[in-house]
Amino acid sequence: MTPSPLSIPVVASESTPVKRAWLDQSDESLRAWFAERGEKPMRIRQVRQWLFQQRAESFAGMTDLPQKLREQLDAEFTIFGSVIDRHMIATDGTQKLVLRWQDGRRIECVMIPEGERRTACISTQVGCAMGCVFCASGLNGVERNLTRGEILEELIRIRNVTAPGERLTNVVVMGMGEPMANLDNLLAALDTAGRKDGLDLGARHVTISTVGLPVKMRRLAEHGKAYHLAVSLHAPNDELRSQIVPTNQHTGIEPILAAADAYFEQTGRQVTYEYVVLGGINDQPIHATQLANLLRGRKAYVNLIPFNAVEGLPYRDPKPRDLRHLIDTLRSAGVAVNIRKRKGADIDAACGQLRRKVEAEAQANAAQATADARAALATN
């Protein structure tokens, strides 16, 4: 018998006072804080080691710090600025977290196991403004950017659900939001995560996805880190792409490809083109030929992603013969192509799906509580 996906309910206190998030503090501000209390800067390193290497989730357990200092830290800072609203574990080992921040907003992040790999898929925004028609993340638009510390927190939260002794080996920035629209905070978080005293994540094991913002793509190339770039293409011509990815009306495919070519020239990293295959929409023979012509001669890799059904959206999976023709056409043109495996399907692991369910449940529970309270008042 196939085991059912596991949902771990989390009970969180609504009355916890708002404290400063440790992960959002600069080294300068932390040095000043410790100096005011007569403590040396080495205390920052000790806290970092507990957080990044020892998996500490509270200051109380940091036993090489004086008791009084632990109490002072706990009074002013919080290690985690979120609570886990939902923790889902799929039958294939994929784990998804819905995190709720202190302002009540929610995001999703995922841990994907694959052999010896442990990949974190993280979000950069609450919601998304790009409006891709097939994606659940952007159905309600974008609410705000995540901070540097919140992005770091996602990585630590995901690392902490791996087995003891395991570490994150890879990161894909393919969760909720457009990474290039929050590039400064993302790069700051990745720089910290990449440090030896952080999560020791090498740049070559990090993939940053984008819908295609040419100016920001060129800026990323100038950052000096060899991150892997993935461009969400989804269509082989401007007319169709503008229907699927509305922001294409302001950019166009050619400027995006030019920026991707420049990224390859500057970093030496082959660019991946993500292509969500929508049955009957972008998977016909004409689309296969156009896509092959578009990428022929480029140092490119195509990642085909068969559509993952989203409740309320009118799209369907591609037919096997159409998917096969798309693959054969690309390979005949010398374009490397792969089909992305579907992971965590039984826990709504596609971006934004579980978050929407959790928020709908929360709204329903709140409405029921209000109705119950009104009924109680009426009977009194």
- Which entry of 109, 132, 135, 351 is annotated as an active-site residue? 351
Answer yes or no: 351 catalytic: yes
Q: What are phi and psi of 143, to 5 degrees?
A: -105, -40
Residue owning tokens 């929050």: 182
| DSSP-based three-state secondary structure for 170 | strand
- How is residue 40 written in tokens? 């040396």
Tell me, what DSSP letter sits at residue 1? -
- Which entry of 108, 150, 178, 274 is annotated as an active-site residue? 108
**Other C-beta atoms within 10 Å of 94: how many?**
23
- How far CA 102 is from CA of 12, 55, 99, 105, 359, in Å, comes to 11, 21, 10, 7, 15
**Gap between the terminal Cα atoms of the chain:** 52
| DSSP-based three-state secondary structure for 251 | coil
The vertex-144 CA angle with 139 and 150, nearest 5°, equals 115
- How far CA 188 is from CA of 57, 126, 161, 260, in Å, comes to 22, 18, 23, 22
Determine the residue type at 71.
E
Answer yes or no: 108 catalytic: yes
- Rounded Cα–Cα distance for residues 184 and 200 (Å): 20
Instruction: Characterize the bridge pairing of strands 82-89 and 95-101.
Output: antiparallel
- How far CA 237 is from CA of 283, 286, 289, 319, 378, in Å, comes to 12, 10, 11, 21, 61
107-111: long-range contacts, CB 8 A cutoff, minimum separation 24: 107/146, 107/154, 107/175, 107/176, 107/355, 108/175, 108/176, 108/351, 108/352, 108/354, 108/355, 109/154, 109/157, 109/158, 109/175, 110/158, 110/175, 110/344, 110/349, 111/158, 111/161, 111/162
Q: Please give the positions annotated as active site.
A: 108, 351
